[in-house]
């Protein structure tokens, strides 16, 4: 229900526009049929109605566009946060494997099986 909300706002804006446009033109035609002597007052809503509907729908569409853009930015930020020093995006499995490797090295260092220098050298080494 709340997935892809930006696209739903955009669709809602389009529906809103078409309902208002059809409503304004339909109302103008009904008024024209009822009273043909007031063409200026009837023709104006027929012409201005779609423009006002478009202006009204712009706000909804803009909200949908902002939400979609923020979603894209968030997804790109998430991917960039797991990127390595060389800028290559690493998979979650690779990141977990490197974390486990570092934990093992820290355990060996804590047990005194490797020196601080060996730990630093092994930790900076790429797999």
Q: Mean of the pLDDT values across residues 5-23?
A: 93
Q: What does the pLDDT look like over 16-41, one tens digit per residue?
A: 999 999 998 888 888 878 876 666 67
Domain boundaries, the chain: 5-81, 92-124
- Angle between the 116-124 and 92-110 helix axes, to the nearest 10 degrees? 170
- CA angle at 48 for the pair 26 and 16, rounded to the nearest 5°: 65
Q: What does the pLDDT look like over 59-108, one tens digit per residue?
A: 999 999 999 999 888 887 776 666 554 555 556 667 777 778 888 888 88
Name, in order, each residue with C-beta under 8 angstroms of 118's C-beta and a sequence gap of 6 or more.
109
- Contact present, 106 and 114 (Cβ < 8 Å): no
pTM of the entire predicted model: 0.57
């Amino acid at each position: 229900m709340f997935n892809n909300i930006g696209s739903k706002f955009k669709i809602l804006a389009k529906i809103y526009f078409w309902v208002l446009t059809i409503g304004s033109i339909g109302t103008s035609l009904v008024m024209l049929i009822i009273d043909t002597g007031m063409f200026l007052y009837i023709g104006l809503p027929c012409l201005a109605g779609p423009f006002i509907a478009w202006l009204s729908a712009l706000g909804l569409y803009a909200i949908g566009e902002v939400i979609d853009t923020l979603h894209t930015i968030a997804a790109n930020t998430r991917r960039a946060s797991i990127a390595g020093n060389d800028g290559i995006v690493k998979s979650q499995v690779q990141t977990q494997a490197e974390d486990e490797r570092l934990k093992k090295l820290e355990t060996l260092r804590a047990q005194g099986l490797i020196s601080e220098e060996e730990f630093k050298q092994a930790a900076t080494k790429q797999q």
